[in-house]
Amino acid sequence: MAGIVKPPGAFAITPHKVSVCILLQIYAPSVQISLPFPFSSVAQHNRLGLFLLALTKSCDDILEPKLDELIRQLREVCGLLHDWFIDHLTSRLSSISSPDDLFNFFTDMRGILGGPESGVMEDDQVILDPSSNLGMFLRRCILAFNLLSFEGVCHLLTNIGHYCKEALSSCPSYEAACSEDSNSNLEALLEYENMDLENLVFEKVTEEIEARKSASETVPFHLHAPQTFFGLVEGHDLRRKIVEAALRDIEVLVDVKPKQGDKDREASSYVHPPNDTSRDFEPNCGIFLRSNWQIQGYLQEQADAIEKNGSCVSLNSFELILRRLHKLAPELHRVHFLRYLNSLCHDDYFAALENLHRYFDYSAGTEGIDIVPPASGCNNFGRYEIALLFLGMMHFRLGHPKQALEVLTEAVCVSQQQSNDTCLAFTLAAVCNMLSEIGVSSTSGILGSSFSPSTSIGISLSVQQQLFVLLRGSLKRAESLKLKRLVTSNRLAKAKFDLTHVQRPLLSFGPKASMKLKTCPINVCKELRLSSHLISEFGSESSTMTTDGAFSTVWLKNLQNPLGSVVSSQENGSGSNTNAFQFYAQPSSIPGSVLQLIGSSYLLRATAWEIYGSAPLARINALIYATCFTDALSSSDAALAYVKLIQHLAVFRGYKEAFAAIRIAEEKFLSVSKSRILLLKLQLLHEHNLHLGNLKLAQKVCDELGVLASSVTGVDMELKTEASLRHARTLLAANQFSEAAAVAHSLFCMCYKFNLQVENATVLLLLAEIHKRSGNAVLGLPYALASLSFCQSFNLDLLRASATLTLAELWLSLGSNHAKRALSLIHGAFPMILGHGGLELCARAYIAEAKCYLSDPSFSVFDNPEVVLDPLRQASIELQVLEYHELAAEAFYLMAIVFHKLGQFEEREEAAASFQKHMMALENPQQEQRFLFSI
């Protein structure tokens, strides 16, 4: 978001600007001396220069400081010389008594500007470069003055009169402070500390406080007060609230300070303790002035905060702040945008809609996302297509895909009409994003003909194909427009697409031999790699508009630090190191949005590996994300990374550890609404209950999971599939085969309808499993084979291994003469299962292997008992970790039989006892409940 750039006409000459001009004249008099008169050192001169720079930077302030405030600042900044400065300033101001004086003054001012012809720069001359910051300011002032009509000049004159008079009327405090400051260094120090917080936050200290200060030698130091303290103050003062929010980070800085030295510790003891209610609450005492840029910066910060973690900003209190801000600065339209964001992230549809429309009505889309001004220069028309883009994204976010598509179509048309390529690229990206996120079931009639070139050939494309065309087009457009961030996000979208879609040729004629019905992991990898090039390329992004507001605040903050340190070192009596002026560069040159994109590329990598079935790589990528990016990014993404890690833990280490980890994650992401953590918890609870045989509870958890999904068709598909998959599995565990099959079947239909291919493979496998359990192995075989072929074409290696295992089990249950075939299948899948599979899968494979051996008529236990016993032992260990009673009982049962055959009765008894224990636990799940409910 860019700052509001005031039209040039808005620069009006005011008494404050006249004062700044006077100071400029002191800084750069038109005489040829290296060091102008009052200054004793170059450092002093530079300090005034910096101060002036800060003043001119904030010349677009919403409210300009009064003369007495300016004097106070001068006193703070200019140290010993301030008396002379103030005298000079006030006398110069009060000497202006007729319009002619003003004319002469500005003629003089022109003299201190170096002309373009003064090419010969003499080293010892202070010349104001007309194109420098100060020079520009001066020129603007002169121009503004020249544009004034005679009435305007008269107005200025009266205003200057008022300006001086006001300052004089509040002079008691000024004089008191003057007489005081020589003997109370401490107080000065405290003031420096205040200034140190934010130099341009000027306090208007009332006389009363001033008096109290001198009486009790304490200084009100509101910035220390905790939040509740501020809450007590009558809500009238908005600006304080803003300060409170904006300075939250600086507060930390203040709290750290006292350890610096004795002097500071002493100073901090003067800070009022928070319970000191004797401090008067006159709303007057905390009025801070804020510059236009600072408000913009504040809004920017809040927007970032909302983006990062929407639910941590409270809807009502922030709305209150914004409303007041709007009341105070009615022309600051950005406020409406913040209100929109705020209501959007709290899912308040009507308020969001209202504020969105209001914002774009006022701003006409001329501020906001990095806009390259149109080449044709048809600025007359506004850029309302951006409004459409935002409206579309809002509808999408609130789960109205139909409207969103409608609006985005309109956005595409309008941006084409207006030839706003940037907006078009963004819109296309938004459409892609939406199409890939929601399942749009009906194919035709949704996208207008303007979207894809292929429709003109008269071939109706499926949504997926359209999406593919769109993605490619949008990527190409973004690349040609050099919108780096958009390129990256398009690449990520493309990777996502490649991950789950088989590439087919768009047109259904031509040599079919070239068709390779597989997803392309290489493409995914390529896109992901290319997407992270963004960081290196980012330096050249032309986004000055975007960062201007933020930069301004950062710049101001940086200015504070050296100033403060220099001043306090002077206080310590060592005036020599005043040259230690240095500006820090902007701390981080990589904006949050870029970091976010890079981070999501890692997250996507983790997901890709998860799908392809490489557990270690998935874990590593999730870890990278969780460790390197969490601070900079949206907390819902961070939560996702944690979820992945915890899932990993659950699969490989059992539930106890996973639940412990969940507890940690829950604390971390307490504020995230609609949380993935909650989802994960439900998933794990379901899984665990299923294993424990606690089916009622499992079903309850599963139902809860289903409720989390939105009721709108085509939205939250992932969640819906998951819920009904789990439902089917619960039914299966309860041996209600026909119901389970019915659920799985309808799920398959849904997945097919919404083109969820990866889920299809899982559902098919589940169907095979259902048939296996119901004893219809012959019926199960085709499902298992179908699942296998799905897995093959989507490169789902782990799922494929598990499908192979199911296939083997099916063969085995067809009779002992198929045992050999089953065994070879299992052995084929073993490398994948042992390398990447979780505890459950491994255990199942072991048991199946043992069963194969045992049912093979040519195999004799007596020859080589370890071939059977070893996998069984392994399986039993893993299943005990997992608390999977049913399978564990089976393993122990098999073990007991083998031992019985071998005649090892002691071991047999042991295995049988374990078998009994697990069976008991399975039949009596209540015992375990205690643990579960404690979570």
Partner 1 sequence: MIELEGPLGKSDAVNRELVSLERELSTLRKNAAIDPFGLYLYGLVLKEKGSDSLARTVLVEAVNSYPWNWNAWSELQSLCTTIDSLNSLNLNNHWMKDFFLASAYQELRMHNESLAKYENLLGTFGFSNYIQAEIAKARYSLREFEQVEAIFEELLRNDPYRVEDMDMYSNVLYAKECFSALSYLAHRVFMTDKYRPESCCIIGNYYSLKGQHEKSVMYFRRALKLNKNYLSAWTLMGHEFVEMKNIPAAVDAYRRAVDINSCDYRAWYGLGQTYEMMGMPFYALHYFRKSVFLQPNDSRLWIAMAQCYDTERLSMLEEAIKCYRRAANCNDREAIALHRLAKLHYELGRPEEAAFYYKKDMERMEAEEREGPNMVEALLYLATYYKAQKRFEEAEAYCTRLLDYTGPEKETAKSLLRGMRTAQSNIPSMDVEHLPP
- Residues engaged in binding partner 1 (CB under 8 A): 62-63, 234, 236-237, 282-284, 327-331, 353, 357-358, 361-362, 364, 366, 380-382, 384, 387-388, 391, 403, 406-407, 409-410, 413-414, 417, 448
Side-chain-side CA neighbours of 88 within 13 Å: the count stands at 17
Q: What is the DSSP letter of 514?
A: G
Whole-number CA gyration radius for the chain: 36
Q: What DSSP string runs through 87-148?
A: HHHHHHHHH--SHHHHHHHHHHHHHTBPPTT--S--TT---B-TTSHHHHHHHHHHHHHHH-
> Is 108 within 8 Å of 25 (Cβ atoms)?
yes
> Is 608 within 8 Å of 528 (Cβ atoms)?
yes
> Is 347 within 8 Å of 325 (Cβ atoms)?
no
Residue entry with tokens 């870890």: 623
Q: What DSSP string runs through 682-737?
A: HHHHHHHHHHHT-HHHHHHHHHHHHHHS-SSTTSSHHHHHHHHHHHHHHHHHTT-H
Alpha-carbon gap, residue 201 to 152, rounded angstroms: 30
Contacts of 784 (CB under 8 A, 6+ apart): 764, 765, 768, 803, 806, 807, 810
Q: Of the candidates 53, 196, 232, which has an alpha carbon nearest to the alpha carbon of residue 132?
A: 53
Other CB atoms within a 10 A radius of the CB of residue 729 amount to 21
The nearest distance, CB 378 to partner 1, in angstroms, is 11
Cα 745 to Cα 574, 703, 741, distances in angstroms: 83, 19, 6
Alpha-carbon gap, residue 35 to 37, rounded angstroms: 7
Through-space distance between the first and last CA atoms of the chain, rounded to whole angstroms: 43
Q: Of the candidates 734, 749, 747, 495, which has an alpha carbon nearest to the alpha carbon of residue 621?
A: 495
Token readout for 292 is 């236009």
Q: What is the residue type of 798?
A: L
> Is 705 within 8 Å of 723 (Cβ atoms)?
yes
3-state class (DSSP) for residue 288 = strand
Other CB atoms within a 10 A radius of the CB of residue 589 amount to 10
Q: Which phi and psi angles does 404 have, rounded to 5°?
A: -60, -45
Token readout for 710 is 């939105």
Q: Is 126 left (phi over 0), alpha (psi -120 to 50) or beta?
A: beta
Q: What DSSP string runs through 240-279?
A: HHHHHHHTHHHHHHHHHGGGG-HHHHHHHHTSPPTT-TTS
Alpha-carbon gap, residue 465 to 472, rounded angstroms: 11
